[in-house]
A and B are shown apart, each in its own frame.
Chain A
Amino acid sequence: MTAAFSKKQKAVVKGAIISSLMAATMAFLLSIFMLGLRTKSAAGALVLEPRFTLVAGITVLVFSGRLLLHLFWWNKKALSSHSFKQPGWFEQLASSKKIGWFGQLALAQKLKGLGKHGGTIMIALCFILPLLLFFFNLKLGTGLPLRYWFDIATLILTYIMLGWGLNIVVGLAGLLDLGYVAFYAIGAYSYALLAQHFGLSFWLCLPLAGLLAATWGVILGFPVLRLRGDYLAIVTLAFGEIIRIILLNWYQFTGGPDGLSGVPRPSFFGLPFKRYGDQTFHIFFGLDYSSLHRILFLYYIILLLALLTNFVTHKMRRLPIGRAWEALREDETACRSLGINTVNTKLTAFATGAMFGGFAGSFFATRQGFISPESFTFIESAIILAIVVLGGMGSQIGVVIASVVMIGGFELLRNMEGLKYVFGQEFDPSLYRMILFGFAMVAIMVWKPRGLISARLPTIFLKTETAVSPSPQNKGDAQ
């Protein structure tokens, strides 16, 4: 076999080994102190605990991983004996470039076709399935952990709603908002404070919270929306932090770090979900009391709220203002030349997104019954942004997929007891959640900068429908 190696192949192998060695050296440098020595407090001072096997393992892993990639993936053509082999179906599929944007278009159209019927079916399932499960469980006593399932579904739906809300700002109008959690917080605190001080019900507070969040969106947005994209991102981040710090320190009003507890639960047209009382939900409908009623009710509230967000976005995209948003995302200068008032357009997008954030916030407050500034840190903004980015900015179904995968997937990760047997008893999978989030953000941006569902169908077209080219816009304007 060795005789069959050509000069070129030898050079490739040599290059692969050198490159892998360099990568391994880098991995060694990066991990030798940070992973190799763990600081531990013992008797008042810090001591070091060596873990050099870990460093060795990582170095070897990086070396062999890179070597394998070099030999069997990147340089496959140069090393294979038939140098002009036809690429197989797998290669064709694997390289997204070969599919091109015609493929993307076909995919998008398929998804759209799927969305027409599949979307309705999905929504119907979302409505019927929980009820079915609930009644089956009631009649048959299957003992399924329904409460847990409903809780997760509610959590995922909350993130879907937040993702859709942020999608208006980031996906449609192209404004990178890193402080979205501020509006979530404003919604939550608005509901909690209004309910506490004025005794208003959830259903009255919900629009009020949305309105307050939108107002704050306008107040914060107005001075900064004329800024360029990345500056805007940092300023919104600063605003998000300012609001969190104020919530943390304004003790008399917000309860400071202790937060607000005893946030009232929502009622079903005035019927509370309580075990005891004259007019409660289960007495009115002649049912046996079950704590699941309330959980199920919360699930349906967030389902309706999320659908409302989607519906409004869908309709807005067909209005002049929605078209202006999308035009703004593609080219701001052109918009201005065509007489679109960019500040007002941005402001409406910002305020609409903020309003849905506020709705989601007051839902969060009523679901948890307790809120504190800890729930509204920057990382929360980053998670919502990650969902929007990974799903494909501007794609509604992408947000759903990303939320289910990320929130649901990590919930699964949390429960994987089996991993403990692989990595040892101290292994806590939930710790790795955020690191995976971060890597996913980087990987998606590198691999598919427009997100998983990257082809966007225009809302308006002349004669035939063509996808907006997924090739990145604003090329080379970095300077």
Chain B
Amino acid sequence: MEYFLQQLINGVTLGSIYGLIAIGYTMVYGIIGMINFAHGDIFMVSSFISLIVFLALLSLGLTFIPLALFLVLVISMVITAAYGWTVERLAYRPLRDSFRLAPLITAIGMSIVLQNYVQIAQGARVKPLPPIIKGSYTLMEHDGFIVQISNMQIIIILTTLILMLGFSWLISRTSLGRSQRACEQDRTMAALLGVNVDRTISLTFVIGAALASVAGFMYLLYYGVIDFYIGFVAGIKAFTAAVLGGIGSLPGAMLGGLIIGLIETFWSAYFSIEYKDVAAFATLAIVLIFMPSGLLGKPEVEKV
């Protein structure tokens, strides 16, 4: 039971990170109907930016950690958003009216470019960062087994919650959110009614990248090790989460992220840690085969 509880906490933490990445997938899919394959690599880029900015701030003599972390988060969000914007501008916007698989192919190309760009710029070795936020609370103790929740985990879960609330507000209340939903329903009609479609799509990518950068930042602090390849696997898992929750649905992405995080954690805890990626990938296949519209998604009607 204690073991189960501990894994539950770990799973929710992991799921929060996946959920934040999954929102980027689900928003882009909702608005232009493409799988932004490079989104996982945007996440990876953001964790590198966070690491570099953090080290730079330390070397500039900023030793007050909370302020440093806040600055790191803000700068990383801005820079990563710039990456998201650039990827959209270079690889997806010229293909707006192309055939369906074209943007997927450029997305794969962009993913390869980003991975190798980071590898050339920062080297192929893993980058370690010693734990910055330490300390933890003991929730319960039974027969010598301790259930703990670390400060880092609390921060991750809280940040995700706050971001989710803010984000839901953005989508449901602001004019940007309204244009986004309008573009999602009918791009041509939205354009006729005066919505700047290109700008809305660009902003979607910017928001998605900014959320992924929060995930990248927390991933860096939580695991303390990053390399240029983390984006690939994390990206596929987050995509699985988006599909599981129902692609296009924002609460679905978060729910899917949590489920994938839990599946992965429990699978590693109770079965085998070597095959944890297989568990996530198999979930993807099973969900797509039996439940292509996901948990909270709307079934898609194919129009001719």
Encode contact with B along A451-479: 1 for CB under 8 Å, 0 otherwise.
00000000000000000000011111111
Q: List, in ascending order, chain A residues with CB within 8 A of B303's CB.
A: 477
**A477: min CB distance to chain B, Å:** 6
**Given A441-B106, A479-B187, residue A238 in contact with residue B284 (CB < 8 A):** yes
Indicate if B170 sits at the interface (CB-CB under 8 A): no
**C-alpha gap A246/B282 in the complex (Å):** 12
CB distance A235 to B116 under 8 Å?
no
Size bracket, chain A contacts = 35 or more
CB distance A449 to B99 under 8 Å?
yes
**C-alpha gap A248/B285 in the complex (Å):** 20
Q: List, in ascending order, chain B residues with CB within 8 A of A249's CB.
A: 274-275
**Given A435-B112, A442-B91, residue A474 in contact with residue B100 (CB < 8 A):** yes
Q: List, in ascending order, chain A residues with CB within 8 A of B304's CB.
A: 333
CB distance B116 to A434 under 8 Å?
yes
CB distance A238 to B113 under 8 Å?
no
**A415: min CB distance to chain B, Å:** 19
**C-alpha gap A178/B108 in the complex (Å):** 10
Indicate if A432 sits at the interface (CB-CB under 8 A): yes
Q: Interface majority SS on A: helix, strand, loop or mixed?
A: helix
**C-alpha gap A231/B291 in the complex (Å):** 12
**B93: min CB distance to chain A, Å:** 9
Q: Which of B51, B115, B119, B281 contacts A238 (CB 8 A)?
A: B281
Indicate if A108 sits at the interface (CB-CB under 8 A): no
The listed residue with most A CB atoms (<10 A of its CB), out of B55, B105, B292, is B105
**Given A238-B285, A475-B97, residue A37 in contact with residue B56 (CB < 8 A):** yes
The segment from A27-35, A149-157, A266-274 found at the interface with B is: A27-35
The segment from B2-10, B121-129, B152-160, B171-179 found at the interface with A is: B121-129
Indicate if B82 sits at the interface (CB-CB under 8 A): yes
* A435 nearest in chain B by CB position: B116
* B188 nearest in chain A by CB position: A476
Q: List, in ascending order, chain A residues with CB within 8 A of B217's CB.
A: none
Q: Which of B85, B112, B186 contacts A438 (CB 8 A)?
A: B112
The listed residue with most A CB atoms (<10 A of its CB), out of B121, B186, B304, is B121
Query: Number of A-B pairs whose CB atoms are under 8 Å?
Result: 192
Indicate if A276 sits at the interface (CB-CB under 8 A): no
Indicate if A401 sits at the interface (CB-CB under 8 A): no
Q: List, in ascending order, chain A residues with CB within 8 A of B274's CB.
A: 245, 248-249
Indicate if B149 sits at the interface (CB-CB under 8 A): no
**C-alpha gap A229/B102 in the complex (Å):** 11
Indicate if B83 sits at the interface (CB-CB under 8 A): yes
**C-alpha gap A101/B91 in the complex (Å):** 24
The listed residue with most A CB atoms (<10 A of its CB), out of B34, B104, B243, B292, is B104
**Given A48-B56, A234-B35, residue A242 in contact with residue B100 (CB < 8 A):** no
Indicate if B230 sits at the interface (CB-CB under 8 A): no
Q: List, in ascending order, chain A residues with CB within 8 A of B45's CB.
A: 34
CB distance A245 to B34 under 8 Å?
no
CB distance A33 to B110 under 8 Å?
no
Of the A-B pairs whose beta carbons lie under 8 Å apart in the complex, a sample of 11, sorted by A's number, is A33-B49, A33-B75, A34-B45, A39-B127, A47-B55, A224-B288, A432-B120, A438-B116, A475-B99, A478-B100, A479-B186
Chain A residues with a Cβ under 8 A of chain B: 26, 29-30, 32-35, 37-41, 45-48, 174, 176, 178, 223-224, 227-231, 233-235, 237-239, 241-242, 245-246, 248-249, 333, 378-379, 382, 385-386, 389, 431-432, 434-435, 437-442, 445-446, 449, 472-479
Q: With contacts A178-B108, A230-B35, A385-B105 known, what are 6 further pairs, Cβ within 8 A?
A: A30-B82, A34-B48, A41-B128, A445-B91, A474-B100, A479-B33
